[in-house]
Every structure is written in structure tokens, then in C-alpha cells.
Amino acid sequence: MTIAAGTKLGRYEIRSKIGEGGMGEVYLAEDTRLHRKLALKILSADLTQNKDRLRRFEQEAIAAAALNHPNIAHIYEIGSSPAVSEGSDASATAGDETHFIAMEFIDGLTLRDRLMSASLAISEALDIVTQVASALSAAHEAGIVHRDIKPENIMLRRRDGYVKVLDFGVAKITEPSLAGTDAATLVKTAPGIILGTVNYLSPEQARGLAVDARADIWSLGVVLSETLTGRKPFEGLTASDVIALILTRDPTPFKDLTEVPPELQSIVMKTLAKAKEQRYQTMEDLARDLKNYKRKLDWGTGPQFDVSGAGIITEAERAGNSAVDRAIISATRGPQPPARPPNNLSDQLTLLIGRNAELAEIEELIAREDVRLLTLTGPGGTGKTRLGVQAAADSLPDFADGVFLIPLTPITDPHLVPAAIAQTLGLKESGETSLQETLKRHLRDKRMLLVLDNFEQVVAAAPLAAEILVACPQLKFLVTSRVVLHLRGEHEFPVQPLELPDLRHLPPLEVLSQYSAVALFIARARAVKPDFELTNENARAVAEICMRLDGLPLGLELAAARLKLFPPNSLLARLENRLKLLAGGARDLPAHQQTMRAAIDWSYDLLNENEQKLFRMLTVFVGGFTLEAAEAVSGATGEDEMDILEGVTSLADNSLLRQKEQPNGEPRFIMLETIREYGFEKLAAAQEAKAIQRAQAAYFLELAEQAEPELSGANQAAWLDRLQAEHDNFRAALNWALQNGESEIGLRLAAAFWRFWLVRGHLSEGREQLDRVLSGAALPPEARAKVLTGAGTLAQNQGDYKAARTLFEQSLSIWRQVGDKKGIATSLHNLGWIAWRQSDYATAHSLSAEALALHRELGNKQGMAHAVNNLGWVAHHRGDYAAARSFHEQSLTLRRELGDKRAIAFALTNLGWAIQKQGDYQQSLSLIGEARALFRQVGDKQLLAFSSLIMANVLHDHGDQKEAQALLKESISTSHEIGSKYNLAFSLRILGDIMFEEGDQSGAVDLVEKSLLLFREIGDKYGAAFALCILANITSEQGEHERAASFLNESLKLRTEIGDKHGLIECLESLASVALAQKQLERAVRLSGAAEAMRESLNIRLSPIEQKKPDRTKTAARAGLDEQAFAAEWSRGLAMTLEQAVSYGQS
């Protein structure tokens, strides 16, 4: 039953019926939410009663939706909904569910229709089949075989001839009888039954056997043969006749039909080998041969034939064409993009007009293997960004790892270009690795396109871009810039103004409207004045406006925005006055920039006085602003009478501002950089810049100081996101303060902002800015100490412990001088943390205990939490897990009271690890899992990676090696990305231990040696001692017992030095294993007894996995000694002090 136009299925509104077939009907519909046309396949009511058929109907959509390829028709949704007629009550039909597939609506024709309408040249046939092969290759890689390739399932998009493959799995649904049906009918898909359209079946399909990708290769070979000859290679009156020919006869020879070059004949015949082992084995192989042959054809080394034969197609064949597939064809355009690889490209709100030729050239250059750096050059306002973004969006399918836009307009410092790229890609800096190296590591194996927008102001960063390209062979840069980068391998593409008509010979209206500059003007005019039309009366004025603005898109858009106030002739008069005013501008400026200046000047003059003042004021913001910020700056400058909301709305209406909605729903306003530069000149000329910049700096100082306590509170995630959005404004405020001698503003801003740099990974930038502040004018002591604390924290997070210690000591000295107990305590626990990181546990304990006493005296819970956290780590690394647990529980309690999610998560991780060492694995995993969720909330990659490796360590000790390895690989990847050497060394050590236990000794040695080098590099004696012990275990297993003993002696020395009792026990147990391997049974028993006694004294419980090692040693030694000898040595070991045991182990 036909569904009436206007009927709604959920958010889809039926427009018209465009076809029907065995499984149901196809309708043209509109998505009322996204406002796009699409095709709706409706399953017929009788089929919905059969659950099996309904399931197979759903499988079509699931199969197709899983594929992401530009040559595969995209499935948007599979679903069901009551059909609600226009004007009816939705509840009336609520019980009648209609099942549908919403899919891409393609404007084009099927290959069948193309074959029926005209002959195909060999070049066209090859182009079509090669695109189909590319689509099927992607499907095969995803484990999907189409099984019904035929001309009816191949669409040619009308606007560009682009090929789309349809209906993955549709043949699984329709089930006509086989006997006596004509040769073009689909047949059924039950087990053992033939699947596909008969003329295109492979022999294995015809026999009802299992099929693989080579069945599609056969079917595509049939299609290729048909496109070249005009007829099918296997034809008969019934399906049975055709199947018999497929199974027993060779295809009709080419020479009997038409001339096809021998090399191409060979390709076709190889696809049609009856034994699938003799065909092409992959679709990729077939596509390569087709491309190579077409290249020869294009280069003129092969003949080109025009192949006819459409008249051979019979009416019976036409009748058998898939009505459902052909129903998708329509003369109305409306293709939707396929599912896209990762990207941050926003859907454009306006069409790109007049750039088809340039777009095609740019996309061709991007696709070329020899083009790695493509620079779109031209003056401001030519539309470089819009053109570049569109080319990038169209090129998405070619970049599996994504396409990302990097806006460089907010920055002027070339050294911040890597930071801008990293921020867009979600990378953060940590450790001693530079951001440049972090980017190279991350992008080294990525097939990715990065669009570097507005590069001219940071052109000194060009060598940095070249360095990244050299290190990343699959990476490409698309750059927009007013200047060429002058790099080797750079391909320049000058973006010209839009095409203009000749005013001396004005063409007819229909021709005039096709000039790209005029077309853009008309489109933008209709956006503000929907009834605007190009007429004989206004045609010359419109053409002259376009000419006066040199066809620059920005100027045209600004001019068109005023059509709601002025008709074209009046608009032209106003515009001409402004152009004459600035015609004699500075000659060192490009001519087009002078014209753009005139266009903006004209727009500025049309504003009223208050609007002009507001426009000038808003140019102080970099990277955008909120209404709150604009109101604050306006109020600070004595402009309280100005209606900011009304003024901002007016500026947005005048295309001087663009509005962007924030995640919280509040608007954010952005000014184009060219317009902002123009406005800032006006601000300076009005002698208002200093006051406005001071007000801007004051606002962001207040915001930073308001945010500072929140960054360690319950709302820290929201505040971090807010500061991230304003990062460019904070940079501008700090730079203004430091450049204009406003040292107090700069100092306070840096002191309040450093924690943001820490958590969001801007470590190098933060240290550089804090160094600038510290090296400036004399500062108040308290403020200087606060900045020193921030600088030290950033330094220690990069592994620069020497610098961190110096900075914290300077801070401590200042706090002691001024008698600030809170500052003293903070510096003490910071120095205690550095001492712990460098394995000076005695000093770490002493400093942290002193800090804790002061924090308690002051009632400073946050400081207390820091201090007891330090004490917990010291106890942990000394093997006193009961004390470590107690300290971390205290820290967690305090941090929960404070609501600091990041600190809570850190405390949970530390507590979980201590509890694991006491043998409670389930509670440990639960605590660390809770911590990981919190780290994700606040966006802290460094501590998330740390929690991953701690959880992996717990899982490893508990015997879950598979999950442990997955977490370690995640941690290693993140640690490489952010440059965290501690996390990386720790992860490599655990992974090496796992590989050793799984029997891969050489791989284990490689990983643990790398871990040891990193621990030594950062001065972590605890980690180095641990790695040495693992190396000893591996080398002993390899029979190198003397070398193993050497490793263990070095580990004993380090662990004695740092007071790691648990580590000493581990070393003694390993030494016992080495002694056992060397047949020194008495020594093995005595060392085992000593280890057992110390473990009991420290109340250390081993996991079942850990217990296996001492049990093996004890059992083997007992078997080799008589009971009396064993008992004697065991007693001697139990009686040893720790010092005696260590001395005996080293002997």
C-alpha cells in the first residue's frame, strides 16, 4: 500500500514514491531534523510478519553501515516507527510499526541505465569498474562479501560520474522460485541455496557452495565484460540455462563480439576462471591491474575503442532489473557524504560557490603521492580557509587517520605552532621530551592531513613544519598563508579572486549570474533578503559592486549583508565613496589588501557611534569572547551605558562577528583576524588601546584568580574547560602585562594560571612564561614565592628534578623570610616529593613529616593531604605497606572532603597499589578503576597512564596477563605521546616481566634493559633496582648465573641505600634461586629462610603467583638435602638480621 506524501516515520517525512520491488517500496523523504533528502526503503507488511525475513532485512543495513568508503552508498539508520499521516493524531497509529532503512539519496543513474542509453569508451568502462573494485576491496577487508554485483547495483552520480555500490545483502531477503524464472531474477539465500543474480553468479554460487571474496571478483569480471562488449558473457532463456553455461562453458570469445585489446582480454578472462584458485585472489590485485592498464591507455600507449552493443540487451533483461535499486535514482540532487574518518571539520553553513575548478585541482594535488606540502596563497579575504577546509573535507576518505584543522590565527609566536597542533590533536606535553618530538612520535605512522590555517603570522615556524613532515612519511600539510613558506617540496597554489564579468560587455542575466563573484553575491544577498533577484534594473550595479571589491569573497559577503538596508544602486554609491577614500593608501601594502581595507572601512562607517566604539573595543579579544567578557571590559572602561547584547547582535548581523555555541549552550563570538586587525588599528588611532587592553588583562586576571581554587576543587573539570577556551586571551593578557611594565598583573596572572598549564599538559609554555615573570622587574616576595612554586612543579613534572629542587628551595627561603607557615609547609612537602623521586627516602620522610606538622597546625587539609601522600610513597618504597595504606587512606579522606577529583583519583591509585601489595586484589582493582574514571573526567592523560600501569601491575601479580598487557600498551602509547619517562620506564619493566613469564626471554631482556636505562636517566633508584632484579631472574633462567648474581648485588646495594626492605627480600629470594641453580643447596635454604623471616616481621603477604617462586626454591632444596641439614640452614636463615642477610647475600 502506497504511503501518502506528508506522512511521517519518526523524523522522516515522505515526499513521493519513487519505486517498488520484491521486498517493498522506496520513497523520497526528508530528514526534518537535519534538513536533507534521503531514500527510505520500506519493508512490505507481509514480510514483516516473518521474523527471519525481518532479521535478514536488518542485516542489509548492518552490513552496509559497517563499511566506510566513498564508493559505497551510505546507510544512515535502520529503524521502525508508526506511519503518521499529515494532520493526524500520532497516537492513532502507534501500534502499526513500519520498518525502514534510511540511506543516501543519490542523484544519478545505474550502470544498467548507462549501458542502455549509450556505448561506453574503454576508458570510461575501466574507470567505473576500478571504482567498484576499490569499494569491494574495502568490504572484503571488513569481512563482507557482496554476492550480488551487477549493473543494477552500480550507480553513477550525475554531477561527477562518481561510482556508488548499492545493496550489500539485499539478495538475502527476496525469495522467488528458481525453476523456470528468467535469467535476471534474484534467487534465494537459505543454506545450500543459490544467492545472487543468475547472470552474474560465480560457479561456486551456482552450485550453492560457500563463497568468499573471489565470488565478487567473478561477478565484477562479468560486469567488466558486459561494459566492454555490450552483452553478458553467459546468457540463456531461463535461470537453469544460464547456470549450466556458467558451470560448463567458457564465456563468449571477445573476437566474436567486438575488438578488445588482448591485454585487457587477459584481465577479464582471469576474473572468469571457473576454478577460483585461478582467478585474481584479491580485489586489490584486480584493481591494480585495471589501474595500470588505464594508465597505459591515458598515456597513449594503448588503443582506445568506442564499444557499442546496447541494442543487444533484451526486454526480458530490462524487466528483470532491480526495481528497488533503480528507485533510488532521481533527477533531484541531494547526495549525502559517507561516514567519515576522524576529523574536527565542522559542517559548513554555506555552500562553496564558484570554486569547482580550483577545488578539483587542489584535491588532485592532495591525492598525489609526491605532494606532501601544499600551500594555498593569496591576500586576506580570498577565501583560502573556506576553500582549504572544503578540499580537506572532500579528501577525508583518503586519510584513514583523519583530517584536522589547526587554526593559527590566535597565535603570533612561531614557537607555539607545535602547541597549537598538539592541542587540536589532544596531545599533551610531559616529561623532558619536547612537544616537537611528541608530535613526530604521534604522527610518524599516521596517514593524516593537517590543515594549517593562517600561517603567514608564524612563517618562522616553517622549518618546524618541514621537520615534522620529514619524520612522518604519510603525513601531509595543507597550508593557507598570505606568503609562500619557501620550503623544499612545497607546492604553491595561488587562490585567485572570483571570476568577474566584463563591464564593457555585460552578458545576459542568465550568463551574468553564472560568474562566480556574482553568484556568491546573489547567494549571500538572499541569506539576508530572501526575495532578492538579479534583474535588468540592478544587474549593472551588482556587477560593478563585484568588480569594485575585486571579486574577494569577504568583501562580497560584507557588502551583501547590507542589502537588507540599501538596494544595489545605493549600496554601490556608498561603497564607491569608501574605495576612493582609501585608494591612495600605503603603497607597500598589496593592492588587494587596500581594497579589503576599503570594504571593511565602509562597513565600519555604516555602524553608529556606539557600535563603532564596541567594535573597536572587541578587537582586544584574541580567539573569541563571551558576552560576560565583553560586558566586563565595557564596564571597566566607563561604558556602562552601552547595551552589549544589542551591540554584539548588530555586529554579528553586519558579518563583523561570527557566533559559535559553547558546550554549555552560551554563545561565543569570534572576529575574523583580518577584521580584528583593522579594528585594532582603529582602536589605536582612537587612543583607546591602553585602557581597553588593561581592562582585558584585568578581566582575565580576575577570572584566573577566581579559577585558581576551583582547579583543585569539585568543579575543576568545568573550570579547566573554561580556561582552555580562553587560553589565547590569557596569553594576550600576560604578554601585554609583561611588555608594558605591568609586572604585578603579569605576576598574579601567572601565579594563578600555572595549575592549568600543569593539568592540561602545557608544561614547556608554562615554564617559559613563568621564567619571563621571574626574570622581570622586582616582585613582591610572596608573589615571587608563589610563582617559584608553580615553576618548580612544572619542572618536576618534566623530570627536571635539579631545577625543581632549586626553585622549591628559593620558594622556601622566601617563605621563611616573611614567616608564612603555609608557604613554608608547602615548600617542605614539595621538596619532600623531589627527595622521594630521587630515592632519598630519609630526607623525603623528614621533610614531609615537618610539612605535615605545620599543615596540621594551620588546619590546611590540602597541605595535609599532600604531606601524607608523600609519606605513603616513602613507606611503600621501603616495603612498609601497612603504613603506606594508612597514609593513603588519610590522604583520600582529606581529598574527598575537599572534592578535588584529580587528587582523589591519585589517592585512590596509590591506596589501591598499597592494598594490592597486602594481597587484596579485588579491592585494589576497584579503587584503581574508580581513579581511572576520575582522571578521564578531568582530562589528565599523564595520571591516567600512571593508573593504567598500576592496574596492569596488579593484574600481572594476580595472573591476568592478557588484560595487563593491554593496559601496559595503552600506558606506553600515552607515555610516548606526552613524554613521561617515569611512566614509560615503569610500563616497560612490567611488560618485560610478563614476557619473561610467558617464555620470551630475549624480548623481555630488551624491554627491561630499556626500562633500566630510563630509570637511571631520571635518577630513580627504586625503579632501577627493580629492573636489575628482573634482569637477574631472566639471565639466571638463561644459565648465566654469575651475571645474574652481579645484577642482584647491584640491586641489593641500591635497595640498601634507599631502605627498600621489600626489595631486599625480593633480592634475597632471587639470590636463593641462583644458588639453587648452582647446586649450592645450603646457601639457597639459608637465604630463603632469611627472606621468610623478614617477610613475617613486616607482615607482607604474597599473592598466589608471587608465592610460587619461594615455594619452588624451598621444595627443590628440601629434595636435595636430608631433613636435618635442611632444618639447620633454615633456622640459621630465620635467625639473621636484615644486615646479616644482605651481607651474606653479597658474599
The SS3 call for residue 599 is helix
Judge if 1032 and 1083 occupy the same domain: yes
Model pLDDT, residue 830: 94
- 448-453 and 475-481 strand pairing: parallel
The residue ranking higher by pLDDT, 388 or 900, is 388
- C-alpha separations of 481 from 592, 826, 992, 1027 in Å: 15, 48, 48, 51
- Could you tell me the pLDDT band of residue 518, with boundaries at 50, 70 and 90? very high
The pLDDT score that the predictor gives to residue 575 is 66
Distance in angstroms (rounded) separating the CA atoms of residues 866 and 261? 80
Continuous H helices in 583-688: 591-605, 609-618, 627-636, 644-653, 673-685
CATH of the domain at 51: 3.30.200.20
According to the per-residue pLDDT averaged within each range, which of 156-170, 280-294, 381-395, 858-872 is highest?
A: 858-872
Mean pLDDT, rounded, of the chain: 81
Residues 95 and 155 in one domain: no
Q: How many Cβ atoms sit within 10 Å of the Cβ of residue 706?
A: 11
pLDDT digits (tens, 9 = 90+) for 450-475: 999 989 878 899 999 999 999 999 99
pLDDT in tens, 933-990: 998 888 787 788 889 988 998 888 888 888 888 898 888 887 776 666 778 888 899 8
Q: Quick one: pLDDT band at residue 68, thresholds 50, 70, 90?
A: low
- pLDDT tens digit string along 636-661? 666 655 688 888 888 877 667 878 87
Average pLDDT over residues 61-74: 65
Is residue 863 assigned to a domain?
no
Residue 131 shares a structural domain with residue 209: yes
Instruction: Give residue 655's pLDDT.
Output: 61
| Backbone φ, ψ for residue 448 (5° rounding) | -140, 150
pTM of the shown model: 0.49
Q: What pLDDT is attached to residue 109?
A: 85
Categorize the per-residue pLDDT at 671 as very low, low, confident or very high, splitting at 50, 70 and 90. confident
Residue 740, in any domain of the structure: no
Which pLDDT value is given to residue 579?
36
Classify residue 387: in a domain, yes or no. Answer: yes
* Residue 638, domain member (yes or no): no
1034-1088 pLDDT tens trace: 999 889 999 999 999 999 998 888 777 778 888 999 999 999 999 999 999 999 9
318 shares its domain with 381: no
Burial classification of residue 371, based on how many CB atoms lie within 10 Å of its CB (0-12 exposed, 13-18 middle, 19 or more buried): middle
**Residue 325, pLDDT above cutoff 60:** no
Residue range 273-306, pLDDT digits in tens: 999 999 999 998 998 899 888 877 765 544 333 3
H-state helical runs in 236-394: 239-248, 262-271, 283-298, 315-319, 323-327, 356-367, 384-394
Give the per-residue pLDDT at 554. Answer: 80
pLDDT score, position 590: 30
pLDDT tens string 104-144: 788 788 898 888 877 788 888 998 999 899 889 878 876 77
Return the percentage of the chain with pLDDT > 90, whole number. Answer: 31
Residue whose cell numbers read 565602509: 602
Statement to judge: residues 318 and 376 lie in one domain: no
Mind listing the pLDDT tens digit for each residue in 786-824?
A: 999 999 988 887 667 788 899 999 999 999 999 999 999
Among 438, 472, 494, identify where a domain stops. Answer: 494
Contact 480, 493 (CB under 8 A): no
138 plus 231 within the same structural domain: yes
Q: Is the pLDDT of residue 1107 over 90?
A: no
Q: Are 373 and 465 within one domain? A: yes
Q: Does the structure show a pLDDT above 50 at 324?
A: no
Looking at residue 945, its pLDDT comes to 86
- How far is Cα 644 from Cα 610, in angstroms, rounded to an integer? 10
Domain contains 1107: yes
pLDDT tens for residues 704-753?
999 988 887 778 778 888 998 899 999 999 999 999 988 889 989 998 99
Task: For residue 1058, give Cα distances in angstroms to 837, 1014, 1019, 1049, 1095.
Answer: 11, 18, 12, 14, 18
Of the segments 35-49, 307-321, 435-449, which one has the largest average pLDDT value? 435-449
Over residues 1008-1030, mean pLDDT = 86
Neighbours of 659 (CB within 10 A): 12
Asked whether residue 887 is assigned to any structural domain, the reply reads no
Reading the block at residue 677, the C-alpha cell is 586587525
Could you list the residue range(s) of the whole structural domain that residue 489 is in?
A: 356-494
What average pLDDT does range 852-877 have in this prediction? 92
CA distances, 170 to each of 2, 53, 327 (Å) = 21, 11, 14
Widest distance between CA atoms in the chain: 119
- The residues annotated as belonging to the active site are 148
Identify the CATH number of the domain in which residue 1120 sits.
1.25.40.10
CA–CA distance, 294 with 302 (Å, rounded to integer): 9
Q: What's the CA gap between 254 and 267, in Å, rounded?
A: 12
Q: CB–CB of 230/312 below 8 Å?
A: yes
Burial of 396 (0-12, 13-18, 19+ CB in 10 A): buried
CA distance 480 to 465: 13
Q: Give every CB contact of residue 991 below 8 A, 6+ residues apart in sequence.
A: 965, 968, 969, 972, 1007
What pLDDT shows up at residue 323? 36
Does a structural domain hold residue 113? yes
Which of 214-218, 219-223, 604-608, 778-782 bottoms out in mean pLDDT, i.e. has the lowest? 604-608
pLDDT band of 93, cuts 50, 70, 90: very low
Q: How far apart are CA 145 and CA 744, in angstroms?
A: 69
pLDDT average, residue stretch 2-26: 81
Cα radius of gyration (the chain):
37
Q: Is 733 a domain residue?
A: no
167 and 256 both lie in a single domain: yes
Task: Please indicate, yes or no, whether residues 89 and 136 belong to a single structural domain of this protein.
Answer: no
Query: Tell me, what CATH number does 313's domain have?
Result: 1.10.510.10
Average pLDDT over residues 34-38: 73
- For residues 112 and 543, what is the distance between their CA atoms, to the nearest angstrom? 45
Question: Are residues 201 and 137 located together in one domain of the fold?
Answer: yes
Average pLDDT of the segment spanning 543-561: 83
Domain boundary among 465, 494, 523: 494
Same-domain status, 86 and 120? no
User: Going by DSSP bridges, is the β-strand pair 154-157/108-110 parallel, antiparallel, or unpaired?
Assistant: antiparallel
- pLDDT attached to residue 309: 32
- What are the CA-CA distances from residue 680 to residues 588, 631, 741, 1002, 1056 (Å)? 20, 18, 21, 64, 65
pLDDT of res. 839: 65
The distance from CA 1003 to its chain's CA centroid, rounded to whole angstroms, is 31
Cβ neighbours of residue 143 under 8 Å, at least 6 residues apart? none
Residues 122 and 92 in one domain: no
Is the pLDDT at 755 greater than 80, yes or no?
A: yes
Q: Which percentage of the chain shows pLDDT scores above 70?
A: 83
Give the pLDDT confidence score for residue 978 in this predicted structure: 62
Number of domains in the chain: 4
pLDDT at 249 over 90: no
CATH of the domain at 474: 3.40.50.300
Contact 1087, 1144 (CB under 8 A): yes
Q: How confident is the model at residue 379, as a pLDDT?
A: 65
- Domain edge (last residue) among 60, 89, 105: 105
Across residues 1099-1122, what is the average pLDDT? 80
